Structure 1
Amino acid sequence: MKASELAALIGAELNGEDVEISSFSSIENISEGSLVAILGNKIPEDIYSSSAAAFLAKKGADVPAGKTYLFADDAELALVAAVNALYPKKHRDGVNPAAYVADSAIICENVFVDAFAYIGSRAKIGEGTEIHAGAVIGEDVEIGSGCIVYPNATIYDGCRLKDRVIVHSSAVIGGDGFGYYQKHGRNVKIPHIGSVILENDVEIGSGSCVDRGKFDNTVVGEGTKIDNQVQVAHNVKLGKHNILTGQAAIAGSSTTGDYVMIGARAGVSDHVNICSKVMLAAMAGVMSDIDKPGIYAGIPVTSRKGWMREIAYVRDLPNIVKRIKDLEKDKDA
């Protein structure tokens, strides 16, 4: 692809020769004829003498002359567009004969269903959606357009995925919530008759679980991205454009606002409400409502500044103990 063509596709300004660009490379592993993004603060000078064909940079960047550059106002978004242009996704369609599709299922145009996928009764699969090998789509499931359900993912009965939702391998959407009454010395399972709704542009990572609601629906808000091995329990309501990273867990009936970021292995207790624009550090523990935007850390959580002060005190405990003992000796002397 010519640099001028790529620049037009990604909304960048070409500066230099109209070279041929065949691939995209990282700074650490540059291949001949590739485009390299120079977006960081510390760019090795030797990359400009490499075999890269061109460089992607933010407009106004201080770069050496004599090379081919694609300058963009938003270089990060231009990078995403460039990679998509250089590595276009190949969409397949058609139903593999080895797949099972119930007679009452509705399959729209340009849908791909791979071998050994299962699509249950009255399921609806929207235009351009891909159902990969071994995926299970339960009865009465509704999947919108442009979705991808990767191999061996499971969508339980009655769940709804809106448009452009991605569910990665081995994720489970709509399994029973973990709810029991302890009666007469035994655990009595509470029926869960709610469902799961994944709004537009949601992505669910491999091995993650989003449980169905007890009586109401579990909802994952528009644009929210969930990493691998994350647990979202019954009746949880996640806001728009949240990010949940690996092994985070949110207990039942908790809610988040918009633009909430939850770090790896952080936990949120049940019936907790978290307002918008909150960031939870890795391994944070939330046991009560958070009603003020900010960065929180620790168990139970406190402000980042407060948590760092606590850690500093804990690490200084040997010195504190020594000082106390010295004071006691002076007192007894």
Structure 2
Amino acid sequence: MPVYHARQIRLSEIGQAVGATIVGRPDTIVSGASSLELAEPGHLAYIDGDRFIKPALASRAAAFVVVRPIAEIDRPQLVIPNPKYIFARIVQQFFTRPDRARGVSDHITQGTDVRIGPDASIWPFVTLGDRVKIGARVTLYPGVFIGDDVTVGDDAVLYPNVTIREGCAIGARVIIHSGTVIGSDGFGYVPHEGRHHKIPQLGSVTIENDVELGANVTVDRATFGRTVIGRGTKVDNLVQIAHNVSIGADSILVAQVGIAGSTTLGHHVVVGGQAGLADHIEVGDQVMIAARSGVNRSLASNQIVSGAPVMPHEIAVKAQAIIPRLPELRQLVRDLEQRVRSLEAAKPARKKATGKRHP
């Protein structure tokens, strides 16, 4: 578990490590890192755009990571592209205490033919099934359950009470937060004579390298084959991923997303919170799905969509703007209908009057 580590370090050393240009005093001592609002004297913070210049002026930070020199600020600056990313690197490298291997606790339960790599940290009350393979420097916190024939890659971290069911594969540097269940049965039933009969779920789950899963995520095993979460994908808390779903690399799923069975997402897909995706559809690469969208059809690559049912975002925005006016528009339509009926009723009388004047 990453722990904040305060230390004293010169700004020049930080700048050299990340390749930044220093504006101001390079011998400034940096003792920590924080946000603009919470920074204390001696802290480093970052400025993510011009709209944060005013908060930066009010900040107590000793120095800033910026994308360009900011003349209004008289404190030292590390100038480098993408300051937010560089700031995250600085915090990781200089102000996060490195984990130390604690070894394997005597109070674990393990089956036969279990293989544990070097420098593992396995806390008490972990359960390892038969033929489990644990990579190097893996951390398993208390209450983790790993079923038979599971593999866990190097440097993976599984927080308390994570469950990995039998036959699943977890890649290297994967982070799984508390309460998440990998490999639970897919929701598959067949109706017969008025009852729902379970379809055996015989597949598995593959979590590829560098994936992070939030707390209380569920990833169901495939009916046959695999449910796959692609390399580098990040999944927020309380997300449901159904059987045989395939998610491409470097995608983002925000909290409370639900993806129904056998749906495929391409790479770099972003799905906003509480969006729901129907089963057996395909979402192309680099699609952005807005929060609370209802995706009931396949989507081509490189587009932004929103609404329920989903539609191009620019159309959904216009439709949303009309909704508050619907009562007014309804009344207008009723008034127009009444006027049309009145005009239609007046036509026979006019024709009759005209006929009398011009025989």
- Rounded to whole Å, the distance in 1 between the matches of 2:262 and 2:63 is 51
Q: Distance in 1 between matches of 2:77 and 2:120?
A: 39
The one of 168, 173, 179 equivalent to 2:188 is: 179
Q: Tell me how far apart the structure 1 counterparts of residues 55 and 187 of structure 2 sit (CA, whole Å).
A: 56
- What is aligned with 2:171? 162
Partners of 2:45 and 2:87 within 8 A in 1: no
* Structure 2 alignment gaps of length 5 or more: 1-8, 344-359
Q: Which shows bigger deviation, 151-160 or 103-112?
A: 103-112
The 1:62–1:253 alpha-carbon spacing in structure 2 relative to 1, beyond 3 Å, is: same
What is the 5 A alignment of 1:121-160?
121-160=130-169
CA shift, 1:95, in A, is: 0.7
Structure 2 residue aligned with 1:212, among 221, 236, 247? 221
1:99 deviates by 2.1
Which of 1 and 2 has greater Rg?
A: 2
Task: Choose from 305, 313, 317 the match for 1:296.
Answer: 305
CA deviations over 1:261-305 (Å, ceiling 9, x no partner): 111111111101111111111111111111242111111111011
Q: Deviations over 1:115-148 (max 9, x none)?
A: 1111111100111111111111111100111111
Query: Does 1:74 pair with 2:82?
Result: yes
1:104 aligns with 2:85: no
For structure 1, list consecutive stretches of 5 or more residues without a partner in the other structure: none
2:288 to 279, 285, 288: 279
Q: 1:23-102 maps to which residues of 2 (within 5 A)?
A: 23-45=32-54, 47-48=56-57, 50-58=59-67, 60-64=68-72, 66-93=74-101, 94-102=103-111
Report the identity percentage.
36
Structure 1 residues 100-126: Cα deviation after superposition (integer angstroms, max 9, x where no partner): 233421001011101111111110011
Alignment of 1:233-244 (within 5 A): 233-244=242-253
1:4 aligned counterpart, secondary structure: helix
Q: Is the 8 A contact 2:47 2:56 kept in 1?
A: no
TM-score normalized with structure 1 length = 0.95
Aligned length: 332
Select 2:240's aligned residue among 228, 231, 247.
231
Give the CA deviation at 1:234: 0.3
Contact 2:36 2:59 survives alignment (8 Å): no
Assess if the C-alpha contact under 8 Å between 2:37 and 2:55 holds in 1: no
Deviation per residue, 1:136-172 (Å, 9 max, x gap): 1111100111111111000001100111111110000
Superposed CA RMSD in Å reads 1.6
Which residue number corresponds to residue 11 of structure 1? 19
Higher helix share: 2
Check conservation: 1:296, 1:303, Cα contact below 8 A: yes
State the SS of the aligned residue for 2:29. Answer: coil
SS where residue 85 of structure 1 aligns?
Answer: helix
Aligned to 1:258: 267
Contact 1:22 1:86 in 2 (8 A): no
